[in-house]
Amino acid sequence: MHMAPAETPAAAAWGRLLDRQVEDLAMVQFVTPDGALTPAGEEYGVDVDLAQRLHRDMVLARRLDTEALALQRQGELNLWLMSWGQEAAQVGSIRALRQTDMVFPSYREHAAALCRGIAPAELMAQWRGIRHAGWDPSVSRFHIYSLVLGTQTLHATGYAMGAAMERSDEVVAVYFGDGSSSQGDVNEALNWSAAGTLPVLFFCQNNQWAISTPTTTQMRTPLHRRATGFGLDAYHVDGNDVLAVHAVTDVAARRIRAGSGPGLIEAQTYRFGGHSSSDDPQRYRTQADFDLWMGRDPLVRLERLLRTLGVEDDWFKELQEESDAFAVDVRSACKALAGSDLCDLFGNVYAEAHPVLAGEREQHMAFLAALESQGEA
């Protein structure tokens, strides 16, 4: 039986919900796509101030995504992986953690990154191809993106071993996708973190697709059920319902902080865009599938709820204006990102100079010089 630490009335209400959920791991939902509260949402209650802050985070994250894709189409970015549709899963989860909790993202957690204070320019530098990564993880407590699927789950597990040795009450959160859950690394991380009672929160955004492979082809047993087999506390949440994601993450993090070992949250969501700016999802997804999920848009549903709860039109208009100004900043910040010298890359690998890399750098310089002299000839 799950026991939520009864620190607040909300946590106590959640403990009751969780006990019920554990019976069948049914998906937790507080707000329906129409913006109505479910019985679980009624019981938990809505903190309107929190809901407004989460909505603002999601609106700005979506705007960044829209602008970045446009910038990619205009040749200002080489590649972009959209988080369009996954804003609730990311915002709801990261906002339930402490700013000091270390986070290991995958590669499309832009909404979560923004919440950690990472600037759009820092986020876009990598995709503009001028830096290996754009930010300092020790400042944001948000690690750099990992493009090798699932490897970050082992990084998080190793990091958590250190946190456990220091007896801190830090939660180490790691994001990964449904497709990545087929990787050996992820399964090793689940097992090892459970075996060591490590403070890891695994957050799977099940966006239904691993590029063109649907989740239904990828696995026979839903991930949250697999996680219980490894010995983790498992949670299943509507990933397009930011309030439910926030509440579930809050409880999972409290339990981990209290020393109960790792937990896994499977958030059901959908990637509205292509896998990346190089992908055309119409080649493998039906319009009906897209339309079904469009009807579950996380921003639309929260806006409906907020309006029902009495949030005025003016508030939404101001948010729209803020979002427009933000978009202008995003575009100019991207264009101001100056290209770097490719030769610098060789110095970004080891803390101290390495003879092999120094040799490769020399070769590269010679190659550039040869190109230049050909151009002059």
Ligand X SMILES: Cc1ncc(C[n+]2csc(CCOP(=O)(O)OP(=O)(O)O)c2C)c(N)n1
Binding site for ligand X (CB under 6 A): 108, 147-149, 177-180, 207, 209-211, 271, 275
Find, among 103, 130, 129, the residue nearest to 115 by Cα. 103
| 21 vs 180 by CB, closer to ligand X | 180
Q: Name which of 127 and 209 has its Cβ closer to ligand X.
A: 209
Q: Of 31 and 154, which has the nearer Cβ to ligand X?
A: 154
Q: How far is the CB of 358 from ligand X (least distance, A)?
A: 29
Instruction: Give me 220's structure tokens.
Output: 């026979």
75 φ/ψ sector (left φ>0, alpha ψ -120 to 50, else beta): left
Least Å distance, CB 145 to ligand X, is 11
Rounded least distance, CB 256 to ligand X, Å: 23
Hey, CA dihedral for 28, 31, 32, 37, is it positive or negative?
A: positive
Q: Are 274 and 82 in contact (CB under 8 A)?
A: yes
In 3D space, the residue among 181, 137, 132 whose CA is nearest the CA of residue 159 turns out to be: 137
Q: Tell me the C-alpha distance between 155 and 147, whole Å.
A: 13
**Least distance CB 47 / ligand X (angstroms):** 29
Between 148 and 368, name the residue whose CB sits nearer to ligand X.
148
Which residue of the chain is nearest ligand X when measured via CB?
177
Compare residues 180 and 268 and give the one whose CB is closer to ligand X. 180
In angstroms, the Cα distances linking 136 to 108, 150, 156, 160, 201 are 17, 21, 17, 19, 22
Nearest approach in angstroms of CB 182 to ligand X is 8
Q: How many angstroms separate the CA atoms of 28 and 38, rounded?
A: 10
Nearer to ligand X, 184 or 375 (CB): 184
Sign for the pseudo-dihedral over CA of 257, 263, 264, 265: negative
Please, what is the minimum distance in Å from the beta carbon of residue 216 to ligand X?
A: 13
